[in-house]
Amino acid sequence: MHTMMMSSRITPTGLSRPAMGRVRVRTLLLIRWLAIFGQLAALLVINKLMAYDLPMLPAMATIAASATVNLWILARHKLSEWHHDGAAAIYLAFDILQLAALLYLTGGLDNPFALLFLVPVTISATILSLRSTILLGLLALVCVSLLALFHLPLPWPAPGFELPQIYAAAIWVSLTLGTVFLMFYAWRVAEETRRMADALAATQAHLSQERELSALGGLAAAAAHELGTPLGTIALISNELLHTQPLDSEAHTDLEILNGEIVRCREILASLARNPSAGTDPAVSKMTFDALLTDMAARYGDADTTVVVTVKANVDPPLIKRSPELVQGLGNLIENATEFAQDQVDLEFTWGEDQVELSISDDGPGFAANILGLLGDPYISTRPGSGRMGLGVFISKTLLERTGASLHFFNRRQGLGATVVIRWPRHIIDLSIDNFGNGAVEGGQLQQASQGEY
């Protein structure tokens, strides 16, 4: 409904924001070794095979400096260690400066390899913080601008050949715009990936808790079933002993107390057996959809907010599996609706031959216009400053989509509340429908169905 309340016991504190700014030592080392061998190969091919007169000694010294940094890092760190944001940014800044020095010796922006300025900035955008990425981008732009003005000439084969000034300016513009565009585009895409991965981890934690609760409920139901027989035997023997003792004896009083405790134990076990949240127990893992909604309405309704279930169909309701995904997904949406409702939350349930539909509506203020189109994405919060992560709708949407549902969010009317419509293809959620759209047959029905009218 609106952004869900995420309790600390469900969502770890470490998931309050996407992880960023750490890169493995091996990754940067490998990238720099590839750059070193690529630069070395390019120099040798241009100087030896193409006979360009390049300042080989300073150029080789520049490449050697990069190799020295790699060997220094290798001596200080294990390959499996991680660089933090600041250290990784410093190493990438060195790569930019090393490339600038090499390009200064080999023609500046006239050198086609000036395009490689985009590489360190793009790497930073995908793994480092936005602050580090902006600083590295600014460093790259400064280097590009200086190289446009100051550089050794590229030794063209034709004497006196020089690129037009407008072409050199166009190269500067293209590198500048390309750096800025790639920096923010790559960072944005990587940030979305980090946020989605973090939100999915929170969803898995949420679902894991629901499964643990379901397993605990199944254990309770099994215990209620298994303890019924020995408890009945104890009650029988206790009653027989009670009739053999004098009414005014101490043993008679003790046996009466014992019988009272046996009755209490039976009531507790009966309550456990009747509880629909017993999850995986076969007796309660399948139920009709309207029964599930009635149970959830009783769970989330309170003195301030009434949860009303309305069934709009005249045929038998779908038979569903009480899965953790379904219970947790619907529970989050209903609970959130009760938080924003003034007096009432409506659960309207209908179904047909092909589709099952549930709408959850409240009489609260409705969805804010600025987040209505973003609902279902992670970290979309309608409560700024509340300390909540904005993962509730995302978790509910993810869990319900696992059951085959599609979710739609809208406001009923201005000021009259928000609505979530959830739809399932009936053949996916209804256990009484087989994969071919026919009524499922089980047990003794199979033989009767196979005989038909013959």
The 10s digit of each residue's pLDDT in 393-434 is 877 888 888 888 999 988 876 667 889 999 999 888 888 775
> Can you give the pTM of this predicted structure?
0.50
Q: 102-158, pLDDT tens digit by residue? A: 999 998 888 888 999 999 998 888 888 888 889 999 999 999 999 998 988 877 766
Structure tokens at 372: 């209505």
Task: Tell me the DSSP string of 263-329.
Answer: HHHHHHHHHHHH-GGGTT-TTTSEEEHHHHHHHHHHHH--SS-EEEEEE--SSPPPEEE--HHHHHH
209-216 long-range CB contacts below 8 Å, 24 or more apart? 209/9, 209/10, 210/324, 210/325, 210/327, 210/328, 211/324, 213/277, 213/279, 213/324, 214/277, 214/279, 214/280, 214/324, 214/327, 215/279, 215/280, 216/279
Q: Give the pLDDT of residue 21.
A: 60
User: Do the bridges between strand 355-362 and strand 344-351 make them parallel or antiparallel, or are there none, so unpaired?
Assistant: antiparallel
Structural domain for 92, as ranges:
18-163
Residues 240 and 299 in one domain: no
Q: Are residues 58 and 89 in the same domain?
A: yes
Domain count of the fold of the chain = 3
Give the model's confidence band at 11: pLDDT under 50 very low, under 70 low, under 90 confident, else very high.
Answer: very low
> 191 φ, ψ to 5°?
-65, -40
Q: Please tell me the least confidently modeled range out of 1-10, 56-65, 94-103, 271-280.
A: 1-10
pLDDT tens track for 207-256: 666 565 555 555 566 666 667 778 778 888 888 888 888 888 888 888 88
- 46 and 152 in a single domain? The answer is yes
Task: Tell me the CA distances in angstroms from 255 to 246, 264, 265, 406, one per residue in order.
Answer: 11, 14, 15, 59
Higher pLDDT, 361 or 8: 361
pLDDT at position 224 is 64
What is the model's pLDDT at position 6? 36
CB 421 within 8 A of CB 357: yes
Residue 24 and residue 148 in one domain: yes
Separation of alpha carbons 230 and 451, rounded Å = 44
pLDDT of residue 328: 81
- Residues 389, 269 share a domain: no
pLDDT on residue 57: 92
- Asked if 151 and 108 count as a contact pair (C-beta separation under 8 A), the reply is yes
Residues 365 and 415 in one domain: yes
Residue 148 maps to a domain? yes
146 and 27, same structural domain? yes
Same domain, 315 and 272: no
pLDDT greater at residue 212 or residue 170: 170
Do residue 263 and residue 308 come from a single domain? no
Q: Does 451 fall in a domain?
A: no
Tell me whether residue 300 is in a domain. Answer: yes
Task: Report the 10 Å Cβ neighbour count for 362.
Answer: 28
Q: Kindly report, residue by residue over 56-69, the tens digit of the pLDDT.
A: 999 999 999 999 99
Examine the domain organization and report whether 125 and 236 are in the same domain.
no
Cβ within 8 Å of residue 174, ≥6 positions away: none
